[in-house]
Homo-oligomer: A and B are copies of this chain.
Amino acid sequence: MKHEKIVECVPNFSEGRDESVIKEILKVIEESGCKILDHSMDPSHNRAVVTFVGNPEQVAEGAFNATKRASQLIDMEKHQGEHPRIGATDVIPFVPIHGVTMEECVELAKEVGKRIGEELGIPVYLYAKAATRPDRVRLPDIRKGEYEGLKEAIKTDPNRKPDFGPSELHPKAGATAVGARPPLIAFNVNLNTDDLKIAKTIARHIRESSGGLPCVQAKGIMIHELGLAQVTMNLLDYKTTPMHVVMSKIEEEAAAKGVEIVNSEIIGLVPLDALLDVSYARLKLKDFSRNRILDLLL
């Protein structure tokens, strides 16, 4: 494993009800040499999320072929759902996992975006770390007006001109955002209280948007099955704000309210380094690297 380059790709497709469509898409991803790690469909969002990995060449091929297949199977003229979207393949993030830099994933996004634009005739907006302008870093800015609104704006507003492909939406597949970003960790912390207000206050204190920890999104919710309040989070960049820093901050905030952390959970997958960073910090390890971990030497 140690010499291998691993990129994760987490495309979102505008089909969350007809499983046969997603199966067709998973098939072309696998045929491109990639490994599917996870997929989920949400009927109310009418949207599917697929997680797959491979080396950069495989992932580029898988993302392109999936977008092509989705453009044949999904018709945005007929699509309705709660989640904002601009196309059949709504968004394609490339995520560096192992042996790959963010810069390489930005290049991958540009290369795949260019192919989607030129070969499939689907307009592409580069986003996140691959964005070519500040107002394209965040997906909500790119999705403004959604599929329906973008149909006109892409032709008339120079600010909505895509990075690749034609300045008009693909008749069925719409447009696609393609980008590069760090791995996202869905991390939830349960408190030993049923007081939702406490979780909401802690969430407000730790999330970046309220002046808390960088690259942390958080909200307080109630987990009724457990009768416990929870701080539910997306950690957008564990290198910037590691998991143990989040834990320490929540512990501190909780203690100030007289409550404690019961336990925590990770939803979906987590990069190994995100967990190892927690160990290194707890042990105050110096001069350590992954090539001293026995299992990883094989």
Query: Which segment of A74-82, A141-149, A163-171, A263-271 sits at the interface?
Result: A263-271
| Given A275-B276, A278-B278, A278-B279, A264-B284 contact (CB < 8 Å) | yes
- Are A266 and B244 in touch, CB under 8 angstroms? no
Tell whether, in the assembled complex, residue B263 and residue A284 are in contact, meaning their CB atoms are under 8 Å apart: yes
Q: Bits for A259-298, please: 1 = Cβ < 8 Å to B, else 0.
A: 0011111101111110110111111111110001111111
Number of copies: 2
Is the C-beta of A255 less than 8 angstroms from some C-beta in chain B? no
Q: A4-B298, A98-B295 are in contact. Are A266 and B288 (CB under 8 A)?
A: yes
Docked-complex contact A264 and B286, CB < 8 angstroms: yes
Are B266 and A284 interface neighbours, CB within 8 A? no
Q: Does A8 contact B (CB under 8 A)?
A: yes
Asked if A294 meets B183 with Cβ closer than 8 Å, knowing A266-B285, A279-B276, A282-B278, the reply is yes
- A48 at the binding interface (Cβ < 8 Å): no
For the residues of A in contact with B, the DSSP-based class is mixed
Q: Evaluate contact between A287 and B275: CB separation under 8 angstroms.
A: no
The residues in A between 81 and 100 inclusive whose CB is less than 8 angstroms from any CB of B are 97-98
A residues 1-19 in Cβ contact with B at 8 Å:
1, 4, 6, 8
Give the complex CA separation of A262 and B273 in angstroms. Answer: 23
> A35: CB under 8 A from chain B?
yes
Known contacts A183-B294, A276-B279; A284/B261 CB under 8 A: yes
User: Quick check: A294 and B263 within 8 Å, CB to CB?
Assistant: no
Complex CA gap A269/B285 in Å reads 13
CA distance A139 to B52 in the complex (A): 50
**Does chain B have a CB within 8 A of A243?**
yes
Query: When the two chains form their complex, are residues A297 and B53 in contact, meaning their CB atoms are under 8 A apart?
Result: yes
The distance in angstroms between the C-alpha atoms of A261 and B281, with both chains bound, is: 12
A215-232 contacts to B, CB under 8 A, are: none
Check if B262 sits within 8 Å of A294, measured CB to CB. Answer: no
Q: Whole-angstrom distance from the CB of A39 to the nearest CB of chain B? A: 14
Cβ B6 vs Cβ A295 within 8 A: yes
> Which residues does chain B contribute within 8 Å of A282, judged by CB atoms?
244, 247, 278-279, 281-282
Are the CB atoms of B283 and A243 closer together than 8 Å?
yes
Determine the chain B residues whose CB is within 8 A of the CB of A4 once the complex forms: 298
Q: Among the listed B244, B264, B269, B294, which residue makes an inter-chain contact with A292, where contact means beta carbons less than 8 Å apart?
A: B269
Residues of A within 8 A of B (CB): 1, 4, 6, 8, 35, 37, 53, 97-98, 183, 243-244, 247, 261-266, 268-273, 275-276, 278-288, 292-298
3 closest residue pairs by CB, A with B: A272-B295, A278-B279, A275-B279
